[in-house]
């Protein structure tokens, strides 16, 4: 594809609609075989230049008899004459944005609210067109990948990205983790938000696995040592993997609240009665003391007595006791933790650092993952609500935007529990309190549709299950057309991106992560904007060098 201002001519608009897409009849020189679903197309209308993607490709004819009397096989002349005239290719293009009338104008592309008029000419989009739409890499735009068959970069608007929750989907092994790593680097480079990553498989902090190339790839801490704090729940595992951790996280029994038990219903296989008995226990033993008090009971008889006292079904209470007793095997749960675990993490986040919490061996234990992520997130959210309200009351600065990253999100956000959990709350209240989610999941159909509908930007790698595809595309404009695009993704390192951070949906080959060159490019800090005065929460942990430089500047 050329990099001249106008791409290769394709044909003319002969019909269509905004909802179904515009029909373009191909010129005899343009072959259907050169076009793909997802190819970018520009259409020069009378007043606007449109850009869209090919959503369907068809063979059509002016005379239906062509099906019954195709040109004689031996006569290539007749075949050549007939193709493109009587028999022709046609494509359907859904126009997504209108481009500035003159190339080089700075006006941003706008969502297309109309379609080009009859007989407008269609062209393949040039590199320039794609660049105009998907932006250049700059302090606001992060290069996430390249459109298929093009050199041009597709960039995400990072400001828009962190304003709302983000979803990263794809079946196993398709590149979710690699894509997420890139998103996190983007957030980090731009310095507009902090993130807290509940790193189930310990692959974001120090290093991760590239299974295809059987090599290790660097985690965030190696790329941005000064901006990333790593916490671990499993010190032994972190040490074995040579991971540099800043803090070992301990959670006190007193920090576990009855709400956390609600979340564990599924993983612990608890009945509703048993799970809600925790509230009775809290009333009995007092806040922060109930779990220790409960687990201190010595035998069945003691549990039975307590059941009577707090008026809970004894069987239910007994099963709760048995399941919670299992928590004792978690080395990170201690009777006397130091300062409150959530507070430690918040402290780092507030300083503008990005926190990775490695789960080590507990990552394989869904109960541990759900318990810890939920418990910490609830505290963090409470703190943010307080900070935000303080700021609104004029008593303090706005808390820095925060992105909470969770894997296997359906465990927290299934329709049954989404309404009760903190993650459901965060997803629904949007960024009222400057906290948003990044959910990573291979089974999006397991997530509450209401939560999915709140995701501002969705990035999805290949999905095979029909229900998962439906779930991801639900509510997306042009979902039907995107479906055909999504179902044709390759099984690795390709993703369909759509939502607020992009002017229009696009399929990309995800930017390469893991080569030395990629580290050099990614390790660069671009977030000039982070230090722009007046930006909320724009505090940065200043390196000694930077401070010196600034002080020298201030002097003169």
Partner 1 sequence: MARVGEVTQTASTGFTVQCYKLYAAPALGALVRAGGTPASGDSGIGGLAAGSSPNPLIPAGHGQQQGFTGTVVYGVVCRVSTEPLDPGRPVLARGESAATEEELYRSNPQLERLLTSRFEVLIIGHQDAEGSRPFLPPLPPRVHSFVYGCNPEEVAQCTARLDFLHLLLGPGLIAADEVVGACLRGAAQAHSDPDQFLLRAGRALAGELAQDLPRLNAILHRVAPW
Ligand X SMILES: Nc1ncnc2c1ncn2[C@@H]1O[C@H](COP(=O)(O)OP(=O)(O)OP(=O)(O)O)[C@@H](O)[C@H]1O
Contact residues toward ligand X (CB under 6 A) are: 170, 172-178, 210-213, 442, 492-493, 510-514
Tell me how far apart the alpha carbons of residues 464 and 270 are, in angstroms, rounded to a whole number.
32
CA angle 537, 542, 547 (to 5 degrees): 125
Binding segment for Mg ion among 95-103, 176-184, 346-354, 409-417 (CB under 5 A)?
176-184
Q: What is the rounded distance in angstroms from the CA atom of residue 513 to the CA atom of residue 50?
A: 33
Residue nearest to Mg ion (CB): 177
Look at residue 75 and give the partner it binds from Mg ion, ligand X, partner 1, none, a contact being a CB closer than 5 to 8 Å depending on partner kind. partner 1
Positions 76 through 105 that interact with partner 1 (CB under 8 A): 76-78, 80-82, 84-86
Q: Count of CB atoms within 10 A of residue 46's CB?
A: 9
DSSP code string of 180-244: HHHHHHHHHHHTS-EEEEEETTS-SSSEEEETTTTEEEE-HHHH-TTTEEEEES-HHHHHHTT--
- Which one of residues 19, 31, 75, 313 is an interface residue with partner 1 (CB under 8 A)? 75
Alpha-carbon distance of 139 to 442, in angstroms, equals 31
Minimum CB separation of residue 62 from partner 1 in Å reads: 4
174 binding Mg ion? (CB under 5 A): no
3-state secondary structure at position 115: coil
Position 71 contacts partner 1 (CB under 8 A): yes
CA–CA distances in Å: residue 192 to residues 113, 144, 180, 386, 391: 31, 17, 17, 21, 18
Token pair, residue 300, equals: 């069945």
Three-state secondary structure call for residue 497 = strand
* Candidate segments 169-177, 251-259, 382-390, 499-507, binder of Mg ion by CB under 5 A: 169-177
Spatial distance between the Cα atoms of 450 and 465, rounded to a whole number of angstroms: 20
Q: Which is nearer to partner 1, 43 or 87 (CB)?
A: 87
Tell me which of ligand X, Mg ion, partner 1, none is bound by residue 152, counting a contact when its beta carbon lies within the kind-specific cut-off of 5 to 8 angstroms.
none
Instruction: Tell me how far, at minimum, the Cβ of 27 lies from ligand X, in Å.
Output: 37
Residue 174 interacts, among ligand X, Mg ion, partner 1, none and using kind-specific CB cut-offs from 5 to 8 Å, with ligand X
> What is the residue whose two structure tokens read 């019954």?
68
Nearest-approach distance from CB 499 to ligand X, in angstroms: 19
- Tell me which of 42, 127, 165, 177 binds Mg ion, using CB under 5 A: 177
C-alpha separations of 172 from 341, 394, 439, 440, 492 in Å: 32, 47, 15, 11, 10
- As a whole number of angstroms, the distance between CA 40 and CA 48 comes to 16
Decide if residue 127 touches Mg ion (CB under 5 A): no
Task: From 74-82, 193-201, 255-263, 271-279, give the range in contact with partner 1 by CB under 8 A.
Answer: 74-82
81 binds, among Mg ion, ligand X, partner 1, none (CB under 5 to 8 A by kind): partner 1
Based on the shown chain and the rule CB under 8 A, indicate whether residue 69 belongs to the binding site for partner 1.
yes
Tell me which residues in 2-41 interact with partner 1 (CB under 8 A): 28
- Tokens 């927290």, residue? 412
Closest to Mg ion by CB, 177 vs 436, is 177
Q: If we measure between CA atoms, which residue out of 450, 401, 460, 402 comes closest to residue 427?
A: 450
State which residue, 71 or 173, has the beta carbon closest to ligand X.
Answer: 173
Q: Would residue 439 be called left, alpha or beta, if left means φ above 0 and alpha means ψ between -120 and 50 degrees? A: beta
Nearer Cβ to partner 1 (28/518): 28
- Tell me the C-alpha distance between 24 and 13, whole Å: 4
94 binds Mg ion (CB under 5 A): no
Q: Does 66 bind partner 1 (CB under 8 A)?
A: yes
Choose between 69 and 211: whose C-beta lies nearer to ligand X: 211
Of 68-76, 235-243, 377-385, 519-527, the window that binds partner 1 (rule: CB under 8 A) is 68-76
**Whole-number minimum distance, CB 77 to partner 1, in Å?**
4
Helix (H) or strand (E) holding 81: helix 76-82
Can you give the binding site for partner 1, defined by CB under 8 A?
28, 62-63, 65-66, 69, 71, 75-78, 80-82, 84-86
């Amino acid at each position: 594809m050329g990099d001249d201002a106008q791409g290769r001519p394709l044909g003319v608009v002969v019909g269509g609609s905004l909802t179904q897409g515009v029909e373009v009849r191909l010129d005899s020189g343009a072959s259907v075989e050169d076009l793909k679903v997802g190819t970018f197309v520009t259409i020069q209308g009378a007043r606007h230049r449109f850009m869209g993607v090919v959503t369907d490709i068809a063979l059509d004819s002016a005379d239906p008899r062509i099906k019954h009397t195709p040109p004689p096989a031996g006569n290539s002349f007749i075949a050549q004459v007939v193709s493109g005239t009587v028999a022709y290719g046609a494509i359907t293009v859904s126009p997504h944005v209108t481009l500035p009338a003159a190339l080089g104008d700075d006006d941003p592309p706008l969502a297309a609210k109309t379609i080009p008029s009859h007989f407008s000419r269609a062209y393949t989009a040039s590199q320039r067109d794609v660049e105009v739409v998907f932006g250049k890499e700059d302090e606001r735009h992060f290069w996430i990948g390249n459109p298929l068959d093009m050199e041009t970069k597709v960039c995400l608007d990072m400001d828009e990205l962190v304003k709302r929750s983000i979803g990263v989907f794809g079946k196993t092994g398709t590149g979710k983790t690699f894509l997420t790593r890139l998103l996190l680097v983007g957030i980090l480079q731009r310095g507009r938000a902090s993130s807290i990553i509940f790193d189930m498989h310990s692959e974001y902090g120090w290093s991760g696995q590239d299974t295809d190339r059987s090599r290790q790839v660097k985690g965030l801490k190696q790329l941005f040592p000064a901006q990333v704090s790593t916490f671990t729940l499993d010190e032994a595992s972190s040490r074995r993997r040579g991971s540099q951790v800043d803090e070992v996280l301990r959670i006190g029994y007193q920090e576990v609240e009855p709400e956390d038990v609600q979340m564990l219903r599924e993983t612990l296989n608890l009945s509703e009665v048993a799970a809600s008995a925790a509230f009775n226990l809290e009333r009995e033993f007092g806040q922060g003391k109930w779990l220790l008090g409960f687990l201190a009971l010595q035998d069945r008889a003691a549990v039975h007595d307590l059941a009577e006292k707090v008026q809970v079904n004894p069987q239910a209470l007994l099963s709760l006791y048995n399941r919670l007793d299992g928590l004792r095997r978690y080395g990170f749960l201690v009777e006397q933790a130091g300062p409150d675990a959530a507070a430690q993490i918040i402290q780092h986040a507030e300083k503008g650092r990005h926190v990775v919490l490695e789960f080590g061996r507990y990552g394989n234990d869904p109960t541990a993952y759900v318990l810890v992520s939920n418990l910490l997130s609830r505290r963090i959210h409470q703190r943010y609500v307080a900070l935000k309200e303080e700021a609104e009351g004029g008593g303090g600065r706005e808390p820095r935007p925060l992105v909470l990253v969770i894997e296997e999100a359906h465990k927290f956000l299934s329709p049954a529990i989404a309404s009760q959990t903190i993650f459901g709350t965060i997803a629904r209240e949007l960024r009222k309190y400057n906290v948003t989610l990044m959910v990573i999941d291979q089974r999006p159909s397991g997530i509450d549709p209401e939560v999915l509908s709140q995701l501002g930007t969705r990035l999805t790698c290949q999905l095979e299950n029909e229900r998962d595809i439906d779930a991801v595309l639900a509510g997306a404009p042009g979902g039907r057309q995107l479906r055909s695009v999504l179902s044709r993704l390759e099984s690795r390192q390709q993703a369909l991106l759509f939502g607020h951070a992009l002017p229009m949906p696009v399929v990309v080959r995800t930017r390469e992560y893991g080569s030395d060159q990629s580290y050099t490019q990614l390790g660069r800090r671009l977030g000039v904007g982070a230090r722009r005065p007046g930006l909320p929460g724009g505090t940065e942990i200043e390196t000694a060098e930077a401070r010196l430089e600034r002080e020298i500047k201030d002097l003169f």
